[in-house]
Structures are given as structure tokens and as C-alpha cells.
Copies of this chain bind each other. A is one copy, B any other.
Amino acid sequence: MTMQSTAPSGLLDTDRIRGDFPILARRLDGDRPLVYLDSANTSQKPRQVIDAMTAHYEQANSNVGRAVHQLGDAATQAYEVARVKIAAFINAPDSSEVIFTKNSTEALNLVANTLCWAQGQYSVGAGDEVVISEMEHHSNIVPWQLLTERTGASLRWFGLTDEGRLDMSHIDELINERTKVVSLVWVSNMLGTVNPLETIIRRAHEVGALVVVDASQAVPQLPVDVAALGADLIAFTGHKMVGPTGIGVLWGRTEILDALPPFLGGGSMIETVTMQGSTWAPLPAKFEAGTPPIVEAIGLAAAVDYLSAIGMDRVAQHEHAITAYALDRLREVDGLTILGPTEAVDRGGAVSFEIDGVHPHDVSQVLDSLGVAVRAGHHCAKPAHARFGVQSSTRASFYLYTTPLEIDALVEGIEQTKRFFKVRS
């Protein structure tokens, strides 16, 4: 494969970075190199993250927060240091505001579920409204559908413009005195759109609504500063940010987390338990019932160290450059329609598209036979697909290890797909 356009500027030293990711050296069927363009689905993991977890299992494995012995100390320290590192990574004012969950989905459900039982200021009931958008991941739709159905509140949402941006024209009507919660994705995993959170947060806070941000695609790609952002709660997930599976994070302001009732009940989240009733431990333990994903938190800390060593501003710059290059190349392809913004402005590194006359499953199958891994389907965003009148799409998504040559391989593969299915172009 040859590079078709001028190399974009702002790229990271991907040769060095790729050396850290064992899987990127893998050969696929037919001895083809892996061209992994599915990082919005899950990212690959560097040796540093894998090794940190292995070392922990081999040297310090123990349960946390419960044991006096040396291994228990080591494990507890490592787990709590992980929390501090992750707090620093998102500039959280206090590390006890960082709650470990199993993924973003659990973090978002934690909020929706506890709001179901919250009393006072945060209670949600008939007449109240919850606002989401048509571009949400199912994990930021279904929890709010369950909450509103169960409490009698109403679910409302931002529509989308043809370019795949939030339709902000009715924001003042949409977010109003009845609005209790606004929960929005920061960077869409399907359209790639980066949403104008500042404006929305300002409006939501004007009317006293809680703001929840699904930062699942944002924390991996952008420098995040929750103190500056101004949202009340944010959710993200380890496996999309070079971390392990089995771990996610909910960050929330202390006063809000303190006011919410507990989510899961059990070991570690209690202050005291009698058969007659129980009281809850202070944050963060209150929301971490049972044995937490200890080694996964340690792996996530290693992931955060890895990203920080590169610098999230540099990661964002690379993501921008590679996405701009991909958009340039894809726009040239006949019969290809991009769903979402077609210019790399306020745009993350996921590009979903359609090829006239070829179903996404078939596109990704042909690409896979060439070693190019992309995702086909609804990407857990059925309403956003419905908005654009399609059922599914093909998505290529990029990360800090993605190279322009891989984009070229994608474009080449799309042309081959069209030839295979005899689509004229």
C-alpha cells in the first residue's frame, strides 16, 4: 500500500508506540498484518498495562481494605494509588469522588438507578423531565428509559441536524424548570461529533438540573478536566483507553454522591450492619460493594500513566490529524456517504459510513479478509441510525497507534469491496 495524500502533521511517533502493543505485531489469516480500526469498540493494550496486572497477580494479589497483612497492604495501596492517579488524570478535586465500576454502562446505571430512590433535591417523579439526545449510546438511553418509566417522569431528547450535530435550536424549551437531569454524550461513538457541553451545562445549571456526561469516548481521546468542565457526574470505561476490560469509572461531585442513596448493597459499602438495618460508609466505598475490580484498577492506572507520559494533548492532536486524513480520503470514495460531520472540526476519531449497494456486514467481511478490522452494525446507537434512515453502518475508528498507511489500507479495501460486489463507481 502507498500513501495517497500528503502525510498529515501532528502525528505521534507511531513506530515507537506500536512497539508497545504486542497485538499490533500479530499476523492474521493469510499472513496479513493486522490493521486495527476498531478502537472505538475497544482499544488495544500496551505491554505496560498487561505487565502491571501480571506483576500484581504474581507479587501482591490480595483483597483490599480488609486485611492487615503485607499483601493486603500492598494491594490496598496499589488500588488506592490507582484511584488517585485516575483522579489526577481527569483533574478531580478529590480522589474519593472517583468510583470504580465495571464499565461505563454500570456507571450510568448507577446514577439512573440511585436517582430512582433519591429523596429531596434529587428525587425524580411525575412531572419531572430527563433530557438525553438522539445520538446517545444505548447505555445512555436505556437507563433513563427505565428511570422515567419507573418514576413517572418524562424522557425528552435533543434531535440531530443533518450534519450529525445536536439540534440546539430549542434548547431553552427542552431544558426547562421541569428538567431534573440532562445526560449527554461528549464524543459520539457513532457520528464522531463532539458536543458543545459548555452551553448545555450552563443552561442545565440555570434550571437546577443535574448534568451527567457520558465521556466514554472523550476520556480516551481528549484532555479532560472535570473541574473546568462543570458537569456533575461523568462516566467512562477502561477498555477504550488502553486499559483492561472489567473496569469503568464514575466521577461525581461529593455533595451529589453523598446525597444519593446506595446502589449495590454488600461488603465494603457499609458503615455498620445489623439484621434490623444498615448504614453506609463514606465515599468512595459507599458505591463500591463487594470485592472491586482490583487488578483492573491497577491496570487502568498503568493505562493512565501510559497516556500521561505521551500527553493527552498530543493524543488529541494525533486523533485529530488522523481523523482529518481519514475524512479527506473517504470523501474521495465514490458511493461512500459519511454519517456525521464530514470535516474534522469538533470531531472525534470514529467515522461511520455507508457504501451504496453493499451492506455493512459485507463491507467489513471483505475488509477483514484483507486484515482491516472495522465494525459493522448499529454500534449501540440505533436511534442515531434511524435518524439517518439507515439500520446499520460501517465504522472505522482510530487511536494513538493508528497510521495514515492504515487509512490507506482501509480505502483500498473499500475499493476492493465495491469490485467484489460489482458495485460500479
Contact = CB atoms under 8 A, between A and B. Distances in A.
Contacts of A54: 50, 54
A34 B53 CA distance: 20
A293 B61 contact: no
21 contacts: A23-B60, A42-B61, A45-B57, A50-B54, A66-B379, A66-B380, A67-B376, A105-B267, A109-B265, A117-B150, A134-B275, A138-B267, A138-B273, A142-B269, A145-B265, A239-B291, A245-B295, A246-B293, A246-B294, A267-B380, A272-B382
A58 B50 contact: yes
A267 B139 contact: yes
A413 B104 CA distance: 45
User: Which of A141, A361, A377, A386 has the most chain B CB atoms inside 10 A of its CB?
Assistant: A141
A293 B290 contact: no
Interface of A: 22-23, 26, 28-29, 34, 36, 38, 41-42, 44-45, 49-50, 53-54, 57-63, 66-72, 102-106, 108-109, 112-113, 117, 134, 137-143, 145-146, 150, 155, 157, 237, 239, 244-248, 262, 264-270, 272-275, 277-278, 289-296, 361, 364-365, 367-368, 372-377, 379-380, 382-383, 386
Contact of A109 (B69, B108, B289): B289
The 8 closest A-B pairs by CB, nearest first: A105-B290, A142-B265, A139-B266, A246-B246, A246-B293, A69-B373, A105-B266, A267-B380
